[in-house]
Amino acid sequence: MKQVGRELGVRYVLEGSVRKAGQRVRITGQLIDAVTGAHLWADRFDGSLEEVFELQDKVASSVAGVIEPALQAAETARSAGRPTDNLTAYDLYLRAYAMYLSSSARFPEALRLMEQAIARDSRYGPALAWAANLCHRLVAERQSEDPAADRLKGVDFARRALVVAGDDPAVLVHVAQALAYFGEDIGAMMALVDRALALNPNFARGWQISGILRMWAGQPDIAIEHVDEALRLSPRARVGNSLSVIGTAHLISRRFDEALPKLLLAIQQNPTNRQTHRVLASCYAHMGRLNDAREVAQRLRALTPVVIPDASWLRNAEQRELFLSGLRLAAGEAE
């Protein structure tokens, strides 16, 4: 725990576990001083799977009360606003989310599970928001069998999610990203993310998506600041392709030497990311390293038939052309 505290830059660590036996579930938790290793609090909570949401409320309320009494009322109120009471929908949502994290090849399957969750609870905000995000990813990566239909479906999911979102920061940022990609006003979508971050300033994924939207809007320096904040808040948890975003922001700022190491590290972390390969190929081409650009373009063709994307998500025409011109040069040399 002392090492974890040092690596994450935190004084206190909340540790816990969940065990299940039949229809019963036990949640344990303990609060530890990461500097001294002392246990400040420990407790266990037992309940049935049918009452799992009530059990979650109990755990959240108890932990918030221990950490800081002033947080108790706000956390209890947040916990009371459960996203769904349908356990099957919740299970489908969790399975779909795991698929999303595992591989982009599983995006179609993940979307089908999210749609099944929504069919069981049409007002399930997180499932609606992630379904919109998955539609965006399928269209962006040319995995969609019917891009026009998935585009309409994604916008519909996003707008339905906004209706039920309330003050859920995760729903707000995922809706903003999907709608921004599908062409909604980028300023309005950045304002939606700003609202989410005002609700939870420590939301690492929110900062990461804010960085993406700032990059799309033609604000690369602010994009880098926001993604750096996401990395500071969550240095080890996966919240998105942060290094790829930073590398792209440097590229569209013509800082090719700064973009290159970020993009190379991003590909090490995720060797199948198509967009990172595109940006890296463009970067090499603008640096005059055409052999390297050709090699990356060839690797990209093994991942996707779409070497040169639409790139309309980059709202600044000059920055969009900078990215595409380098990519065209890399692809042309590879022919």
SS3 236: coil
Same-domain status, 335 and 261? yes
Of residues 63 and 158, the one with the higher pLDDT is: 158
Total domain count, the chain? 3
Computed over every residue of the chain, the mean pLDDT equals 87
Could you tell me if residue 68 is inside a domain? yes
Which of 109, 101, 113, 296 minimizes the C-alpha distance to 205? Answer: 101
Same-domain status, 75 and 138? no
Could you tell me if residue 202 is inside a domain? no
Domain of 94, CATH number, reads: 1.25.40.10
User: What confidence category does residue 334 fall into, taking pLDDT thresholds of 50, 70 and 90?
Assistant: very low
User: What confidence category does residue 333 fall into, taking pLDDT thresholds of 50, 70 and 90?
Assistant: very low
Could you tell me if residue 203 is inside a domain? no
Of residues 80 and 168, the one with the higher pLDDT is: 168
Residue 74 has a pLDDT of 35
> Half-sphere exposure of residue 189, counting CA atoms within 13 Å on the CB side?
26
Cα angle 171, 175, 176 (rounded to 5 degrees) comes to 120
- Amino acid (one-letter) located at 234: S
The arithmetic mean of pLDDT across residues 106-122, rounded, is 94
pLDDT by residue (tens digit) across 190-216? 999 999 999 888 888 899 999 999 999
Q: Which of 150-154, 270-274, 309-313 has the highest mean pLDDT?
A: 150-154
Residue 77 has a pLDDT of 43
* Out of 40-54, 172-186, 271-285, 288-302, least confident range: 40-54
Predicted TM-score (pTM) of this structure: 0.76
Same-domain status, 73 and 97? no
Helices (H), the chain: 2-8, 52-67, 72-80, 87-102, 107-120, 125-140, 147-165, 169-181, 186-199, 204-216, 220-233, 242-252, 256-269, 274-286, 290-303, 317-334
Same-domain status, 33 and 118? no
Residue 328 has a pLDDT of 96
Of 143, 165, 187, which marks where a domain is finished? 165
Of residues 238 and 251, the one with the higher pLDDT is: 251
Place of tokens 């906004």: 162
Same-domain status, 102 and 68? no
The arithmetic mean of pLDDT across residues 3-12, rounded, is 81
Q: Which domain holds residue 144?
A: 86-165
Of 165, 196, 216, which marks where a domain is finished? 165
The arithmetic mean of pLDDT across residues 76-105, rounded, is 73
Torsion sign, CA atoms 307, 312, 318, 319: negative
Of 28, 54, 80, which marks where a domain is finished? 80
The arithmetic mean of pLDDT across residues 220-243, rounded, is 83
pLDDT at 287 over 90: yes
Same-domain status, 93 and 158? yes
